[in-house]
Homo-oligomer: A and B are copies of this chain.
Amino acid sequence: MAGGPSSSSVPSTPLLKDELDIVIPTIRNLDFLEMWRPFFQPYHLIIVQDGDPSKTIKVPEGFDYELYNRNDINRILGPKASCISFKDSACRCFGYMVSKKKYIYTIDDDCFVSFHLLSASIIFFSVAKDPSGKDINALEQHIKNLLTPSTPFFFNTLYDPFRDGADFVRGYPFSLREGVPTAVSHGLWLNIPDYDAPTQLVKPLERNTRYVDSVLTIPKGTLFPMCGMNLAFNRELIGPAMYFGLMGDGQPIGRYDDMWAGWCTKVICDHLGLGVKTGLPYIWHSKASNPFVNLKKEYNGIFWQEEIIPFFQSATIPKGCNTVQKCYIELSKQVREKLGKVDPYFNKLADAMVTWIESWDELNPLSESANSSANGPVKAK
């Protein structure tokens, strides 16, 4: 499927080498890292072990990593560890909290290097100058996305205007061309698409083979389904909003961890004037999870999202909320008030949202002030 290191396109100096952590939640040995070695080896990995802490996870040699299991999480957070999900990949957000870096890239352990393939037999794709089977450097593309501005206030029909060979088209207001800082880069997946259980059941053989060569800003006021499989973000700008909620063991819902984070993040980005991009890079998603198991996990989410999404679509955050933390605490209040009626689970989730922020601030004592905008003074809590 993909070339080894010899055909890779690793940049000679890895971008943001000392400013980015790669966060991986896992329940198994991390053999998948072998394929990512040329891309990930220069970076620090934070591995969050999901499930039984007595199990030993093997990490291939040569990687620089720290690994946290449930015992570590309990030890570090004490009673506040209750906000971190157990037996669910939602536990990955613990890695965001303990990181000290400015940027995070998170990826699932069933995702592989995707590649540009030139073939007439399947849909295929290519880029300038090197159309033949070059590996896609997903991390490099995410970093490009994060380091260039977003344009959430007006749609550019030629997509990302900051990309080589593109620009703002006629009719794009000049006052909006500076853009805003990019907080999130949401990458996509070839092969197994990120479908819910009902769609998996109905279309078991559908594969995503379409390489769409674009990156675009999701407009202000528009929500999207954020998938945690292939996701990068600026931790300084938006980190405290990237809480993956209460899922898995003991909870009535699963597979909505990234969705929850995405809804909260987008509402807060819109409020703070930050950008969210989606599109490139693609990773290769190797295997579909079991749709029957997924259906059980998703059932409540599928039902509840019909109320959750209108809630987030109409949520407004008061002007005075000028840090991500303040916005997030405000959202937790609204969740309790408006979604608590839907199910008592949301009261528990609202509590966990507060605990998450308390934990974040304990582990990142300077982060609140780092996030303050010019809107007003930041009060100590």
Contact = CB atoms under 8 A, between A and B. Distances in A.
B131 A124 contact: yes
A349 to B, nearest CB: 16
Q: How many copies does the complex hold?
A: 2
Contact of A155 (B198, B223, B302): B223
Nearest to A221: B221
A156 B194 CA distance: 11
A16 interface: no
Contacts of A342: none
B305 A225 contact: no
A255 interface: yes
B157 A227 contact: yes
A222 interface: yes
A287 B341 CA distance: 60
A262 interface: yes
Interface residues of A, number: 67
B278 A166 contact: no
The 6 closest A-B pairs by CB, nearest first: A171-B225, A155-B224, A219-B222, A171-B259, A170-B196, A212-B214
A314 B128 CA distance: 41
Classify the interface of chain A: helix, strand, loop or mixed: loop
A173 interface: yes
Given A123-B127, A165-B210, A166-B210, A188 B222 contact: no
A343 interface: no
A292 interface: no
Given A158-B193, A175-B306, A306-B174, A169 B213 contact: no
A369 interface: no
Interface string A150-177: 0000111111000001111111111100
Contacts of A158: 188, 193, 208
A155 B222 contact: yes
Contacts of A255: 170
Contacts of A357: none
Interface string A103-143: 00000000000000000101111111101100000000000
A172 B206 contact: no
A46 to B, nearest CB: 25
A186 interface: yes
Contacts of A159: 212
Nearest to A302: B174
A49 to B, nearest CB: 24
A203 B167 contact: yes
Given A169-B227, A174-B306, 11 more contacts: A123-B128, A125-B213, A158-B188, A165-B207, A166-B208, A170-B225, A170-B255, A175-B306, A212-B213, A213-B213, A220-B222
Nearest to A189: B158
Contacts of A194: 157, 169-170
A195 interface: yes
